[in-house]
Amino acid sequence: MNEVITKDMVEGGYVPEIIFDKLENYKTAIEWMETFKFLFKQFCEETGTKSWETDYFLMNYIAETESARVDTKRMKETNIYVMDAVSGELEEVNAYEFFSKKSIVKAHVTYKEKQ
C-alpha cells in the first residue's frame, strides 16, 4: 500500500522525487544533531556550563530533576464523591472524567522517524 501511495504522490505531482533525497539528508542531520547534543551535555557536566548562545541558536543544559506525573490509569479506575451544586447531595463520579478537560485539536500532519 505504501508503494502505491508513494507512486501516486510522485506521479500526481504532489511530491517531487527529490524529496526522498532530502529526507535522507534530514535523517543524517538529525543523527548529527543528537551527537552534537550529547557532546554539549558532556561538556556542560564537566565544566558547569548551563547555556550556550550564538547568533544562530541557544542551547541549554537542564540538569536531572524530579517531576510529578498524574497516574491516569489509576485515575480512570477511581471514583470520587462530589457534592451536587443544586441539591447538595453527594454523587459518585469517575475521577478522570471529572478532572478531564476536552479541547479541539486542529487538523495537522505528523511525521515520525522509524528506528
Task: Say yes or no to pLDDT of 112 above 80.
Answer: no
In DSSP notation, 63-114 reads ---------HHHHHT-EEEEE-TTT--EEEEEHHHHH---------------
The residue with greater pLDDT, 30 or 10, is: 30
pLDDT at 75 over 90: yes
Mean pLDDT, rounded, of the chain: 89
Residue 1's pLDDT band (boundaries 50, 70, 90)? low
* Domain range summary for the chain, segments of one domain joined by +: 1-67, 69-100
Distance CA(6)–CA(26), nearest Å, equals: 18
Give residue-wise pLDDT tens across range 19-72. Answer: 888 888 999 999 999 999 999 999 999 999 999 998 888 999 999 999 999 999
Residues 63/49, Cβ–Cβ less than 8 Å: no
Among the residue ranges 54-58, 70-74, 90-94, 109-113, the one predicted with the least confidence is 109-113
